[in-house]
């Protein structure tokens, strides 16, 4: 706490991991003797920089850019960039810390990192977003490379921003180095299924969780919070597997559609028009918009929080439990507060932490890197099949580890210990570096 004052989200993320590690530290004293925890908590490198740009009115604007290169023991630094006004070092560090263990769980050779800026793309024109991205990359490019550090998208960074970032990297370095960013457009090195991967992966994970307790997703009522990249494709896959998604949201409120969400309409409003969620209810008679109360008040069997950190607290969790929810899987990073997780676990609701259930995005980014390295591109079906297998393996790894450590069904313990062990072994193997 003294070393990282005021970084509340970072403290929360570290505590959540450490609270699970007691059994493994007792079993493997070399982790304690080798100071593995202290080493993992301290990022290998933290880069903070000024991002100057000129707005449409000709005024000079200044934002702050971050890249926290957390751990490279398993592979090059890998993790997204977030552009949102709430971004500060504590958010980037919590995301980077989580990313180490998530990437480890995927079984792919990727280290952990995260970056971003307090820039708000929602309130900027397309030209302003481009100039901002160019300025951001003009500073960050010297730290990147396909073997060094490979960013991707996150909140506020989608296909448009990745395009501007890649274009500037290519211009400065005079290299079409495809493997330096993931989430690229399909004609210039992107991978099929990357756009869908996080949302699809969350739903595959839930399906496995439900099957493990002898039930299924088909026919279930589902709420998905958010309406961005992760939420959209979680809705799509849940619908494909026969569930009925009845609610979604953005930061202005939420909609409930008892006929099931019309995904084409949602995509038109969110991806094409970049409009607010109330527009959905204005065009769909079966839907109502609300900006009071909580999306978690809607009675459902399955809740998929896919917007942002700490969006689901203990009160919301208690309401979900009272309404009969059977499973919760995190599409966002750390969307459930520690108290909410406690409520789910005490009530016997199946709960999957984001570092396991939302790992499909970064895993498919690693598949994109493989295709770039081989100068190849795979079909949608092949890539989705690989994603499906990866999510199945992550599920089983978490489940088996929880069982091995005497807490069957505890995905928090399973994910943290399985993710941590691989990183810790690599840290020890590489000596004091």
Residues annotated in a binding site for NAD(+): 198, 229
Nearer to ligand NDP, 11 or 28 (CB): 11
Find the shortest distance in angstroms from Cβ 56 to ligand NDP.
21
Cα Rg for the chain, rounded, in angstroms? Answer: 21
Site membership for ligand NDP, residue 154 (CB under 6 A): yes
User: What are the CA-CA distances from residue 175 to residues 104, 139, 169, 369 (Å)?
Assistant: 29, 17, 8, 16
CA dist 229 and 159 (Å) reads: 10
Nearer to ligand NDP, 37 or 182 (CB): 182
Nearer to ligand NDP, 36 or 133 (CB): 133
CA 358 to chain centre: 6
- Nearest CA to 283 among 298, 304, 269? 269
CA dist 206 and 302 (Å) reads: 9
CA dist 298 and 395 (Å) reads: 27
CA dist 292 and 91 (Å) reads: 27
- Nearest CA to 299 among 231, 220, 235, 204? 220
Mark the segment that binds ligand NDP (CB under 6 A) among 21-29, 40-48, 209-217, 304-312: 304-312
Question: Residues 52-91: x/- map of binding to ligand NDP (CB under 6 A)?
Answer: ----------------------------------------
Task: Looking at residues 306 to 335 of the shown chain, list those that interact with ligand NDP (rule: CB under 6 A).
Answer: 306-308, 331-333
Question: For 93, what's the count of Cα atoms within 13 Å in the CB-facing half-sphere?
Answer: 24
Cβ(412)–Cβ(20) below 8 Å = yes
Cβ(423)–Cβ(101) below 8 Å = yes
Among 72, 104, 198, 399, binds ligand NDP (CB under 6 A): 198
Among 229, 372, 401, 410, binds ligand NDP (CB under 6 A): 229
Residue 130 neighbours by CB under 8 Å, 6+ apart: 164
Residue 101 neighbours by CB under 8 Å, 6+ apart: 17, 112, 355, 415, 416, 419, 420, 423
Mark the segment that binds ligand NDP (CB under 6 A) among 164-172, 221-229, 293-301, 379-387: 221-229
Mark the segment that binds ligand NDP (CB under 6 A) among 105-113, 155-163, 213-221, 257-265: 155-163
386: annotated active-site residue: no
Nearer to ligand NDP, 40 or 332 (CB): 332
The C-alpha angle 236, 242, 244, rounded to 5 degrees, equals 70
Question: Which of 114, 170, 184, 270 is the catalytic position?
Answer: 114
- Residue 249 has φ and ψ, to the nearest 5°, of -155, 175
Nearer to ligand NDP, 155 or 243 (CB): 155
Among 106, 117, 358, 372, binds ligand NDP (CB under 6 A): 358
Among 17, 36, 155, 413, binds ligand NDP (CB under 6 A): 155
Question: Residues 242-281: x/- map of binding to ligand NDP (CB under 6 A)?
Answer: --------xxx-----------------------------
Q: How many residues does the chain have?
A: 433
Mark the segment that binds ligand NDP (CB under 6 A) among 8-16, 29-37, 128-136, 152-160: 152-160
Tokens linked to 109: 């050779």
Site membership for ligand NDP, residue 182 (CB under 6 A): no
CA dist 192 and 366 (Å) reads: 12
Mark the segment that binds ligand NDP (CB under 6 A) among 17-25, 66-74, 150-158, 255-263: 150-158
Nearer to ligand NDP, 196 or 208 (CB): 196
Site membership for ligand NDP, residue 156 (CB under 6 A): yes
The strand pairing partners of 52, in sequence order, are: 62
Nearer to ligand NDP, 251 or 389 (CB): 251
Q: Residue 151: in which H helix or E strand, if any? A: strand 149-152
Q: So which residues are the catalytic ones? A: 114
Q: Which residues bind ligand NDP (CB under 6 A)?
A: 153-156, 158, 198, 226-231, 250-252, 306-308, 331-333, 358, 361
């Amino acid at each position: 706490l003294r070393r990282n004052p005021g970084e509340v989200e970072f403290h929360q993320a570290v505590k959540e991991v450490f609270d699970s590690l007691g059994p493994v530290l007792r079993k493997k004293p070399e982790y304690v003797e080798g100071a593995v925890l202290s080493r993992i908590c301290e990022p290998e490198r933290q880069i903070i920089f000024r991002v100057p740009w000129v707005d449409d009115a000709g005024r000079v604007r200044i934002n702050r850019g971050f890249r926290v290169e957390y751990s490279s023991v398993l592979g090059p630094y890998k993790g997204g960039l977030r552009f949102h006004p709430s971004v500060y070092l504590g958010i980037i560090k919590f995301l980077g810390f989580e990313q180490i263990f998530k990437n480890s769980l995927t079984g792919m050779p990727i280290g952990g990192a995260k970056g971003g800026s307090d820039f708000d793309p929602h309130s900027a024109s397309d030209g302003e977003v481009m100039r901002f991205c160019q300025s951001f990359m003009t500073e960050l490019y010297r730290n990147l490379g396909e073997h060094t550090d490979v960013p991707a998208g996150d909140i506020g960074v989608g296909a448009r921003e990745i395009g501007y970032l890649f274009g500037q990297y290519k211009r400065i370095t005079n290299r079409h180095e495809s493997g330096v960013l993931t989430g690229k457009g399909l004609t210039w090195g992107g991978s099929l299924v990357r756009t869908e991967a996080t949302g699809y992966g969350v739903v595959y994970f839930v399906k496995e969780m439900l099957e493990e307790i002898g039930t299924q997703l088909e026919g279930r009522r589902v709420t998905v919070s958010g309406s961005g990249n992760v939420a959209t494709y979680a809705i799509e896959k849940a619908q494909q597997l026969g569930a009925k998604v009845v609610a979604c949201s953005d930061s202005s409120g939420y909609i409930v559609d008892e006929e099931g969400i019309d995904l084409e309409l949602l995509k038109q409003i969110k991806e094409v028009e970049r409009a607010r969620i109330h527009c959905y209810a204005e065009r769909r008679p079966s839907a109502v918009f609300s900006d009071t109360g909580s999306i978690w008040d809607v009675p459902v069997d399955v809740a998929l929080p896919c917007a942002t950190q700490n969006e689901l607290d203990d009160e919301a969790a208690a309401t979900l439990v009272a309404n009969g929810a059977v499973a919760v899987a995190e599409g966002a990073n750390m969307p459930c507060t520690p108290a909410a997780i406690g409520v789910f676990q005490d009530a016997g609701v199946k709960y999957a932490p984001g570092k396991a259930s939302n790992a499909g995005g970064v895993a498919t980014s690693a598949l994109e890197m493989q295709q770039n390295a081989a100068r190849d591109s795979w079909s949608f079906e092949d890539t989705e099949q690989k994603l499906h297998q990866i999510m199945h393996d992550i599920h089983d790894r978490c489940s088996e580890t929880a069982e091995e450590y005497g807490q069957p069904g505890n995905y928090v313990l399973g994910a943290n210990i399985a993710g941590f062990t691989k990183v810790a072994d690599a840290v020890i193997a590489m000596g004091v570096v």
